[in-house]
């Protein structure tokens, strides 16, 4: 049963103290307002989240200063008439709602005789602010990255799409964390069924805490056992804005600099923001490289094993002899060699991620120069295996999305074992297994392999932005993610001569 | 939104059909044709294409009359018992086709990729793979081959172009010297390999644009026949009639002989086996899918996969029979040529004629009502 905010300040303070007993970080202040200093009020806020309440440049400061200079009997009247007119101010009728409001990082204001609690916006919780992204680096384009506050992130998208058609729907997730989750979409482009689908999925679970968008991602995706992510993640506001302009939905979670984009597919993961900022020739070239990299990151070590252990006839004799010479003195079978190097590499990667910034560079040197060279010198692995593993690692780094690359990193081990066991037959089996899985996988009703499958659904227009990124002038249609009859995105004002 | 509507596009059906028609045909037909018709084999392919197009026309007529699915269509024409019997015949045919292709695919893998692999083991793995693919449904299957189509045919085209350099056109002659009986036999063989086109009868409820199914089948047959004819000419030009007749899987032998420019790869046969691996798997998977589908229909199974399990077990066991019993392949060929082929041609024709009669009767009856 919710506790109502009453006209008795004493009662409200009592109820509030009951809710926030043993909360040392909640600051509470009683004051008297009005020229005659008779009207009692009560202010509560999370320490650090609210600045100096007397400062003229804060809403709270301005309000207090106004109320101090007002005759006592006019204060309630003023609040009744103007409360909703004051910017960044929210009224609550129950104590629980008011408490939740305060915990978003704002101040709570009770006045004796007034049966509402007022939430007054202040500087909010401390966060890291807008900074450059660590991942998804681009050659050309904005370097701005998402911050950790959902409101800042929403603003970063709106800054790029200044139209009232951009809508932000707010929901809360986490029974105890009460985390803001914002769904950002373009009203006239989004498929209504997509919006209902994500809202339905968000309402289907109740969890204690949502610490990051990753929690939402895992609880709302359709295929839990797939290694492939069914949400695209980004830390770049320009990428997110682009997605909104394509009719997709951006899901922002408070305290997370990682936005989720839905729906998504293989092709979306390979695209980067600067694909559209650079000339089409180089954009297409790098796009093809990334596609090849995504396949090689998964198959290369397995293929090496299949060829060297089962189908040596594929290689020219000279090359085969040089492979054999390089392996001379190595006591392990090729499978063990590959596994040693792959595991060493994964360890280096993990160590590099966990170590502080300055030290992580050292890991590169230790891994690349010392372990690699020493392993070859000690005849633990052959140089060709080092090359294969290094090339595989390069390929996995070339995949623009970390979560997507992870799927290939994991599947690589499946390929290694099947190829070591069954040679090229194992390779074909693994490829077919992955293909069967991918062909069935979908992200919010959109096949994962679109537009390589079903390109006819958008009149073959989406194929212009797949392996090749055709000249921007030809990309006049939004992708299939957009609702039908709203897919035109480029119009020439007059016919080109 | 787009998926899980149990509908596949005409493009996907076309690509599936091309792989079904081309895969096993390109593997086995060249040697068989060379034995009976020599250089005239290419005319056998063209003649079979003509027959095939007539057959597609008949299938198209049946499709035009079909309101729902093929089973319901048969029920309307010949009653429940008759249609059930025909469904059992189709079930048997799909199962045999899948098993024969499984046997061929296992043989291919053991010959070119995994000589040390035992037949039961390799075929078991393939059956497991087919189970996974079939459980994933028709849409997923169609998408796989939509993607794979150019990945398979692109390299094949390049290899054929490279192989064409060594073609000796003298081997293409003399023509029109084959006895009519042998020519007819060759044509019938090719036509038998085009028979999987009758799958379209079962595809209508799953096709996004059923009105285009007939054209799609005809186009697929023309492309497959064209590809077979080109392949046959290149094989004939490279090996000559006698050598071609002696080779078991000449297309893959040819791939092992083609030298890629640059010299990084000495032989491409292992890589190119992928083409036949995927296309034979497609046909096997199609057989398993429809056999399971028919069994489901017959036993009114809704949510479980018992029918599929039974079909997979049957497929595996019949495959073992092909492997273990020396005359099994000949028996299958005999069944195919003497029973299945005439039945597959005559049945749709009869059903269509029956349909025409029924429609006429109904038209006659309507003015009096």
B202: distance to nearest CA of chain A, Å?
21
Report CB contact under 8 Å: B265, A314.
yes
Q: Is residue B109 part of a domain?
A: yes
Q: What residue segments make up the domains of chain A, in order of their start?
A: 9-120, 150-264, 280-446
What's the pLDDT band for A87 if we cut at 50, 70, 90? low
H or E stretch at A174: none
Q: Is residue B127 part of a domain?
A: yes
Chain B, nearest residue to A428 by Cα: B274
Q: Which residues contact A293 (CB under 8 A, 6 or more apart)?
A: A394, A395, A396, A398, A399
* Model ipTM over 0.85: yes
Q: Which residues contact B288 (CB under 8 A, 6 or more apart)?
A: B94, B98, B130, B131, B134, B308, B311, B312, B315
**Which tens digit of pLDDT belongs to each residue from B141-175?**
889 989 999 889 999 999 999 999 889 999 998 88
List of chain A residues whose C-beta atoms are within 8 Å of the C-beta of residue B274: 428
Average pLDDT of the residues in A264-271: 94
Looking at residue A134, its pLDDT comes to 78
Does residue B48 contact residue B187 with C-beta atoms inside 8 Å? yes
- How far apart (Å, rounded) are the C-alpha atoms in residues A424 and A405? 24
Half-sphere exposure of A279 (CA within 13 A, CB side): 2
Average pLDDT over chain A, rounded to an integer:
88
Chain B, nearest residue to A316 by Cα: B266
Does residue A458 contact residue A487 with C-beta atoms inside 8 Å? yes
Chain B, nearest residue to A317 by Cα: B266
Query: CA of A439: how far to CAs of A197, A363, B4, B209, in Å?
Result: 21, 39, 12, 21
- How far apart (Å, rounded) are the C-alpha atoms in residues B259 and B253? 12
- Residue A125 clears pLDDT 70, i.e. is over it: yes
**Residues 371 to 430 of A: which have CB under 8 A from any B CB?**
422-425, 428-429
Q: Is residue B369 part of a domain?
A: no
The pLDDT tens digits along chain B (369 residues) read 555 566 889 999 999 999 999 999 999 999 999 999 999 999 999 999 999 999 999 999 999 999 888 999 999 889 899 999 999 999 999 999 999 999 999 999 999 999 988 999 999 999 999 999 998 888 888 899 899 998 899 999 999 999 998 899 999 988 888 899 999 999 999 999 999 999 999 988 889 888 999 999 999 999 999 999 999 999 999 999 999 999 988 999 999 888 888 777 777 888 889 999 999 999 999 999 999 989 988 888 877 788 999 999 999 999 999 999 888 999 999 999 999 999 999 999 999 999 999 888 888 877 655
- How far apart (Å, rounded) are the C-alpha atoms in residues B38 and A332? 52
Q: What is the DSSP string of A134-158?
A: SSS--SSS--B---S-HHHHHHHHH
Does residue A75 contact residue A33 with C-beta atoms inside 8 Å? yes
**Residues 179 to 208 of A: which have CB under 8 A from any B CB?**
191, 193-194
Looking at residue A76, its pLDDT comes to 81
Q: Is A41 on the interface with B (CB under 8 A)?
A: no
- How far apart (Å, rounded) are the C-alpha atoms in residues B103 and B329? 10
Which of A312, A454, A456 best probes binding to B when mutated, by most B CB atoms within 10 angstroms? Answer: A454
What's the pLDDT band for A449 if we cut at 50, 70, 90? very high
- How far apart (Å, rounded) are the C-alpha atoms in residues B159 and B178? 30
Q: Is B115 on the interface with A (CB under 8 A)?
A: no
Does residue A444 contact residue A195 with C-beta atoms inside 8 Å? no
Which of A5, A229, A234 shows the shortest CA–CA distance to A119?
Answer: A5
8-state DSSP, B204: G
Chain B, nearest residue to A484 by Cα: B1
Helix (H, G, I), strand (E, B) or coil at A22: coil
**Residues 160 to 189 of B: which have CB under 8 A from any A CB?**
none
Residue B281: alpha-carbon gap to chain centroid:
11
Helix (H, G, I), strand (E, B) or coil at A314: helix
Task: Output the pTM of the full model.
Answer: 0.88
- Residue A366 clears pLDDT 80, i.e. is over it: no
* Crossing angle for the helix pair B70-112 and B328-335, to the nearest 10 degrees: 150
Q: Is residue B2 part of a domain?
A: no
- How far apart (Å, rounded) are the C-alpha atoms in residues B62 and B53? 14
Chain B, nearest residue to A311 by Cα: B270
Domain that holds residue B325: 10-362
Burial-class residue A59 by CB neighbours within 10 Å (0-12, 13-18, 19+).
middle
Which of B44, B49, B45, B37 shows the shortest CA–CA distance to B174?
Answer: B37
Q: What percent of chain B has pLDDT over 90?
A: 68
What's the pLDDT band for A298 if we cut at 50, 70, 90? very high
List of chain B residues whose C-beta atoms are within 8 Å of the C-beta of residue A445: 1-4
List of chain A residues whose C-beta atoms are within 8 Å of the C-beta of residue B267: 313-314
Q: Is residue B91 part of a domain?
A: yes
Does residue B268 contact residue B255 with C-beta atoms inside 8 Å? yes
Which of A314, A422, A445 lies closest to B2 in CB terms? A445
- How far apart (Å, rounded) are the C-alpha atoms in residues A82 and B342? 90
Angle among Cα B199, B203, B208 to the nearest 5 degrees reads: 145
For position B123, which CATH number holds?
1.20.1740.10
Q: Is B122 on the interface with A (CB under 8 A)?
A: yes
The partner residues of A260 in beta bridges, in order of sequence, read A233, A251
Kindly report the backbone phi and psi dihedral angles of residue A108, in degrees, each rounded to the nearest multiple of 5, phi listed first: -110, 135
- How far apart (Å, rounded) are the C-alpha atoms in residues A185 and A281? 31
Does residue A300 contact residue A392 with C-beta atoms inside 8 Å? yes
Residue with tokens 């001379």: A328
B119: which 2 tokens? 């037949």
A222: distance to nearest CA of chain B, Å?
13
Which of A193, A440, A442, A480 best probes binding to B when mutated, by most B CB atoms within 10 angstroms? Answer: A440
Q: Is residue B5 part of a domain?
A: no
- Residue A83 clears pLDDT 70, i.e. is over it: no
Q: Is A314 on the interface with B (CB under 8 A)?
A: yes
B114: distance to nearest CA of chain A, Å?
7
Q: Which residues contact A403 (CB under 8 A, 6 or more apart)?
A: A229, A233
Question: How many domains, chain B?
Answer: 1
Q: Which residues contact B300 (CB under 8 A, 6 or more apart)?
A: none
**Which tens digit of pLDDT belongs to each residue from A195-239?**
999 999 999 999 999 999 999 999 999 899 999 999 999 999 999
For A388-411, b where at least 16 C-beta lie within 10 A, e where not — what string?
bbebbbebbebbbbbbbbebbbeb
- How far apart (Å, rounded) are the C-alpha atoms in residues A71 and A69? 7
- Residue A162 clears pLDDT 70, i.e. is over it: yes
Q: Is residue B3 part of a domain?
A: no
- How far apart (Å, rounded) are the C-alpha atoms in residues B55 and B346? 10
What is the number of CB-based contacts under 8 A between chain A and chain B?
A: 108
H or E stretch at A70: none
Q: Is A450 on the interface with B (CB under 8 A)?
A: yes
8-state DSSP, B1: -
């Amino acid at each position: 049963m919710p506790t109502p905010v009453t006209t008795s300040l004493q009662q409200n303070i009592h109820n509030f103290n009951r809710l926030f007993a043993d909360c040392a970080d909640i600051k509470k202040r009683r004051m008297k307002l009005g020229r005659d200093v008779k009207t009692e009020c009560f202010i509560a806020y999370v320490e650090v989240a609210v600045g100096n309440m007397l400062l003229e440049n804060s809403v709270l400061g301005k309000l207090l200063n106004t109320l101090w200079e007002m005759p006592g009997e006019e204060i309630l009247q003023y609040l009744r008439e103007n409360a909703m007119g004051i910017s960044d101010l929210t009224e609550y009728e129950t104590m629980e709602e008011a408490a939740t409001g305060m915990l978003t990082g704002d101040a709570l204001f009770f006045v004796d005789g007034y049966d509402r609690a007022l939430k007054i916006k202040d500087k909010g919780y401390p966060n890291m602010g807008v900074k450059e992204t660590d991942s998804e680096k681009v050659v050309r384009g904005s370097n701005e990255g998402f911050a950790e506050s959902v409101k800042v992130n929403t603003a970063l998208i709106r800054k790029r799409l200044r139209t009232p058609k951009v809508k932000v729907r707010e929901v809360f997730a986490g029974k105890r964390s009460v985390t803001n989750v914002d769904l950002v979409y373009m009203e006239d482009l989004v498929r209504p069924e997509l919006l209902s689908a994500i809202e339905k999925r968000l309402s289907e679970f109740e969890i204690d805490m949502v610490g990051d968008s990753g929690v939402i991602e895992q609880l709302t995706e359709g295929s839990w056992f797939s290694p492939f992510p069914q949400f695209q993640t980004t830390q770049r506001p320009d990428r997110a804005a682009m997605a909104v302009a394509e009719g997709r939905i951006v899901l922002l979670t408070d305290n997370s600099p990682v936005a989720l984009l839905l729906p998504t597919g293989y092709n979306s993961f390979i695209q980067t923001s600067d694909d559209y900022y650079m000339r089409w020739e180089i954009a297409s070239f790098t796009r093809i490289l990334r596609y090849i990299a995504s396949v090689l990151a998964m198959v290369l070590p397995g293929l090496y094993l299949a060829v060297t252990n089962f189908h040596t006839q594929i290689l020219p004799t000279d090359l085969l002899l040089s492979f054999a010479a390089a392996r001379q003195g190595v006591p392990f079978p090729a499978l063990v060699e590959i596994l040693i190097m792959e595991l060493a590499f994964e360890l280096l990667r993990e160590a590099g991620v966990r170590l502080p910034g300055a030290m992580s560079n050292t890991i590169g040197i230790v891994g690349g120069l010392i372990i690699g060279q020493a392993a070859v010198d000690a005849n633990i692995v052959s140089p060709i295996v080092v090359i294969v593993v290094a090339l595989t690692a390069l390929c996995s780094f070339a995949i623009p999305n970390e979560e997507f690359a992870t799927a290939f990193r994991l599947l690589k081990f499946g390929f290694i074992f099947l190829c070591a066991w069954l040679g090229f037959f194992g390779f074909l089996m693994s490829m077919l297994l992955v293909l069967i899985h991918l062909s069935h996988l979908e992200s919010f009703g959109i096949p994962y392999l679109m537009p390589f499958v079903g390109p006819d659904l958008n009149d073959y227009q989406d194929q212009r932005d797949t392996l090749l990124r055709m000249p921007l002038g030809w990309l006049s249609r939004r992708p299939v993610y957009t609702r039908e009859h709203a897919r035109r995105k480029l119009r020439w004002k007059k016919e080109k001569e | 939104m787009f998926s899980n509507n149990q509908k596949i596009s005409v493009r996907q059906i076309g690509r599936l059909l091309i792989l079904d028609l081309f895969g096993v045909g390109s593997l086995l037909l060249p040697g068989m044709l060379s034995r009976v018709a020599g250089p005239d084999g290419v005319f056998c392919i063209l003649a079979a294409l003509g027959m095939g197009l007539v057959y597609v026309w008949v299938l198209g007529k049946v499709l035009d009359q079909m309101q729902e699915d093929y089973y319901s269509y048969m029920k309307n024409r010949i009653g429940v018992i008759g249609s059930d019997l025909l469904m059992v015949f189709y079930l048997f045919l799909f199962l045999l086709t899948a098993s024969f292709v499984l046997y061929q695919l296992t043989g291919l893998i053991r010959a070119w990729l995994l000589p040390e692999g035992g037949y039961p083991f390799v075929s078991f793995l393939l059956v497991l793979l087919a189970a996974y693919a079939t459980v994933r449904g028709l849409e997923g299957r169609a998408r796989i081959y939509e993607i794979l189509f150019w990945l398979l045919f692109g390299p094949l085209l390049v290899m054929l172009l490279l192989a064409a350099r060594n073609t000796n056109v003298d081997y293409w002659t003399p023509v029109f010297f084959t006895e009519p009986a042998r020519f007819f036999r060759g044509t019938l063989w090719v036509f038998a390999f085009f028979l999987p086109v009758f799958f379209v009868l079962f595809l209508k409820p799953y096709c996004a644009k059923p009105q285009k199914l007939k054209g799609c089948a005809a186009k697929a047959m023309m492309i497959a026949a064209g590809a077979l004819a080109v392949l046959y000419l290149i094989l004939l030009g490279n090996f000559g009639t006698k050598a071609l007749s002696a080779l078991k899987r000449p297309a893959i032998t040819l791939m092992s002989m083609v030298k890629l420019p640059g010299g990084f790869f000495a032989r491409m046969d292992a890589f190119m086996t992928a083409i036949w691996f995927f296309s034979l798997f497609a046909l096997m998977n199609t057989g398993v899918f429809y056999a399971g589908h028919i069994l489901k229909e017959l036993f009114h199974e809704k949510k479980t996969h018992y029918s599929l399990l039974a079909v997979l077990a049957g497929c595996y066991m019949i495959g073992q029979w092909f492997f273990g019993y020396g005359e099994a392949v000949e028996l299958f060929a005999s069944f195919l040529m003497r029973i299945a082929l005439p039945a597959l041609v005559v049945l749709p024709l009869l059903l269509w004629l029956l349909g025409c009669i029924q429609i006429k009767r109904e038209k006659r009856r309507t003015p009096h009502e």
